[in-house]
């Protein structure tokens, strides 16, 4: 199986689905994280270029902790737009990397980059198997798309993954994003649910786990109401 997370910013995969990614990597699956942007707006007292370089390095270290490969696209932080050109770029990304399962943002989210990424990935998934649509890579059809979301949105999980054995790995990966741990601590009002990033992520995983009788879990909403052998309900 090839599991691919397509996320707007360098820390999104670790925060929202890091345990699931680590669990699949540990069983030998190919795991790839595709970053739409380098998160160059999310920081203090630096230039966009300097912050982008820092966040890319942090993302590489975090992905290595999870056992994932990384790919960086060249969208601009805070400025991802929905267009046919961008949709076709995502079509070609899916065709090039040929994932079995795609993880991405839920459609309802405060961050505009998250919302737009969700829409682009969903529509690219719909189009990437069309044989008459020509791009640089050959048509490909992933099995399913699973969405992750913030507890402050209308997101209500339907599929739960037991990450009890991988919560510590997830937290270790998040800590690699040193610039963001500090940024979110100071950025209160907008991302208030992550003021204390590690503690809040752990608490959310514990709450989700209790609903399924496990210590820690991550939750997803599938595009198609099916379950695969491993990314399925507990």
Residue 208 lies in a domain: yes
Residue 229 lies in a domain: no
Write down the pLDDT at residue 132.
Answer: 96
Residue 231 lies in a domain: no
Per-10-residue mean pLDDT, the chain, length 234: 96 96 97 94 78 93 98 95 97 97 95 96 97 95 95 88 97 91 62 69 95 96 71 51
What is the maximum span of the chain, computed from C-alpha positions, in angstroms? 49
Write down the pLDDT at residue 195.
Answer: 59
Among residues 1, 71, 67, the alpha carbon closest in space to that of 29 is found at: 1
Residue 139 lies in a domain: yes
Q: Say which CATH number the domain at 134 has.
A: 3.40.50.10320
Find the domain containing 122 and state its range.
2-222
Write down the pLDDT at residue 130.
Answer: 96
Residue 101 lies in a domain: yes
Residue 192 vs residues 136, 200, 201: alpha-carbon distances, Å: 42, 10, 12
Residue 149 lies in a domain: yes
Write down the pLDDT at residue 51.
Answer: 87
Residue 232 lies in a domain: no
Q: In angstroms, rounded to a whole number, what is the distance separating the alpha carbons of residues 90 and 119?
A: 11
Write down the pLDDT at residue 190.
Answer: 46
Write down the pLDDT at residue 151.
Answer: 77
Helices and strands, number each (H, E), in the chain: 7, 7
- Number of domain units in the chain: 1
Write down the pLDDT at residue 186.
Answer: 66
Residue 233 lies in a domain: no
CA angle 196–199–204, rounded 5-degree value:
110
């Amino acid at each position: 199986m090839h599991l691919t997370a397509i996320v707007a910013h360098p820390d999104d995969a670790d925060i929202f689905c890091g345990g699931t990614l680590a669990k699949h990597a540990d069983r030998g699956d190919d795991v790839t994280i595709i970053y739409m942007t380098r998160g160059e707006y999310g920081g203090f007292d630096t230039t966009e270029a300097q912050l982008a370089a820092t966040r890319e390095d942090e993302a590489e270290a975090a992905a290595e902790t999870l056992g994932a490969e990384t790919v960086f696209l060249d969208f601009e932080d805070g400025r991802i737009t929905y267009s046919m050109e961008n949709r076709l770029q995502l079509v070609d990304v899916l065709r090039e990397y040929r994932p079995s399962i795609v993880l991405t943002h839920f459609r309802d989210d405060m961050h505009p980059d998250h919302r737009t990424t969700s829409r682009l990935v969903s529509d690219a998934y719909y189009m990437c198997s069309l044989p008459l649509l020509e791009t640089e890579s050959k048509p490909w059809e992933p099995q399913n798309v699973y969405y992750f979301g913030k507890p402050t949105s209308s997101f209500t999980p339907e599929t739960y993954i037991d990450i009890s054995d991988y919560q510590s790995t997830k937290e270790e990966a998040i800590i690699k994003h040193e610039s963001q741990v500090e940024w979110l601590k100071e950025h209160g009002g907008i991302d208030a649910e992550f003021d204390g990033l590690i503690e809040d992520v752990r608490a959310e995983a514990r709450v989700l786990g209790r609903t399924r009788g496990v210590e820690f879990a991550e939750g997803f909403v599938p595009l198609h109401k099916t379950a695969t052998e491993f990314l399925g309900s507990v």
